[in-house]
Structure 1
């Protein structure tokens, strides 16, 4: 596993640019939820601030579009809306030490490694890219972090529309490969629909044949769950005995269902307040060591913006956070990268095929 988790290289703070760097500046927040005009906006890369005397402090975590709050020697990444009046906010818009702020983008790159050619074919992942090595590395990462990390899945409803992919996700949950599940109302609704009616949006989850009045099924399951008062109560009352949400309930794996403007129902557990959804999802982002984002562009981008590219472990070591996005097209992967999560690794394939392949290679581990 040591070959898969690359060593982290701190910046060389002996360079002239950094030895001459000033002490970082801060300004007091003028009001709750308001930050100084020249605030420093964070990335998901490791970020350091200079406290003086050559002492650079690494933010224990970072994420997109937040601010740095300094309390003595303690550095915290905080969303601007959560900053309280009087807190000291780091200010400065440069990132190479000019204002005591250094953003480190190459910490996990091998030292001294340079490309041999300036021009080469296939330097960017596409649907033509072979993913054999990506799969093999992913199997090893998941086996390791099942016991030594925090694996977070971000799922779109397509995973629940197929009998085999739904069963594969259930198997992964039951075998410890999922420590938290993030989704929307649709994933949970159609998974429960599959458990009760054996359909997904009215189609049989195996044969894909449309069922008589099947377009009512997801509305009926929503109504039954709301009648029961909770997902867990409905699972017992309706005697649902398989599926993704069933496995989460059975294994006590936390799941976060974030609401959207187009939700039917929704299920009782769906969080309607988007900022409360964000805060609840962020609790898992702060612990994540592997993120598996499948067939859901908006949830993938949202969670990608919450997840640091690194974690500082209890012993002070720094490790990367692995982020995989699985989708049929380059569009979702490119969109995620364009929103700041450049470290996300794409596997471009049908998500149902991906799930079955993944489970077949992990189920005997």
Structure 2
């Protein structure tokens, strides 16, 4: 569950190696990189959806790629200020809330990434007993989530682009712990 932005950040990193035009390996802005998020949105729109981009081989790694490849359902809720948005982003917010509620059923752990409004909204919809990890560069976001009364929430104050990059590295190590090239 998330907004248009988290999906665009993930796909931009996968397709361009950048986050908002900043090279994720070197930490420096890329010439023309400020347009990368729009290029990514248009690329996915031309494919028809995130799943179709995976099927067509356009998107070959990243969090959303793994969701599609492994049949993990996701819901993206839109906002009036979204660029694009991606074709998978639900712009009817009542429907998006219904989609979120459906995906929350039976959840044991929720990872909330860099969206105060989505994270707090999901936190408010989450029953007690579900563990939550909120990652945001703004300490007020993680504080606000923990202030909702959940003893199960953990806050991590960091840049979500860096967090996603490190998460991806760890997931790759788990699936390929010896660094041996996998054959398909």
TM-score normalized with structure 2 length: 0.80
CA deviation string 1:20-75 (max 9, x = no partner): xxxxxxxxxxxxxxxxxxxxxxxxxxxxxxxxxxxxxxxxxxxxxxxxxxxxxxxx
Alpha-carbon offset, residue 337 of structure 1: 3.7
Q: Partner residue of 1:283?
A: 102
1:321 is aligned to: 130
Superposed displacement of residue 353, structure 1: 5.3
5+ residue gaps, structure 2: 178-184
Q: Does 1:356 align with 2:166?
A: yes
Per the alignment, residue 235 of structure 1 pairs with 54
Larger Rg: 1
Alignment pair present for 1:196 and 2:15: yes
Q: Given the alignment of the two structures, is residue 248 of structure 1 paired with residue 67 of structure 2, yes or no?
A: yes
CA offsets, 1:156-193, max 9 Å, x none?
A: xxxxxxxxxxxxxxxxxxxxxxxxxx111111112222
Between the aligned partners of 2:141 and 2:121, the Cα distance in structure 1 is: 12
Tell me by how many angstroms 1:329 deviates.
4.9
Compare the two structures and name the one with the higher strand fraction: 1
Report how far residue 213 of structure 1 moved.
1.5
* Distance change (3 Å), C-alpha of 1:356 and 1:238: closer
Contact 1:325 1:344 in 2 (8 A): no
Q: Is 1:212 equivalent to 2:31 in the alignment?
A: yes
The aligned counterpart of 1:346 is 154
**Separation (CA, whole Å) in 2 of partners of 1:234 and 1:253:** 16
Cα deviations across residues 59-102 of structure 1 (Å, max 9, x unaligned)? xxxxxxxxxxxxxxxxxxxxxxxxxxxxxxxxxxxxxxxxxxxx
Matched residue SS, 1:359: helix
CA spacing shift, 1:195–1:227, aligned 2, 3 Å:
same
Quote the RMSD (CA, aligned, Å).
2.5
The answer as to whether partners of 2:146 and 2:154 remain within 8 angstroms in 1 is no
Structure 1: which 4+ aligned runs deviate by more than 6 Å? none
2:43 aligned with 1:224: yes
TM-score norm. by structure 1 comes to 0.43
Answer yes or no: is 1:271 the counterpart of 2:90.
yes
Unaligned runs of 5+ in 1: 1-181, 310-319
Q: Residue 181 of structure 2 corresponds to which residue in structure 1? A: none
C-alpha distance in 1 between matches for 2:95 and 2:164: 31
Please show how residues 122-133 of structure 1 align to structure 2 within 5 Å: none
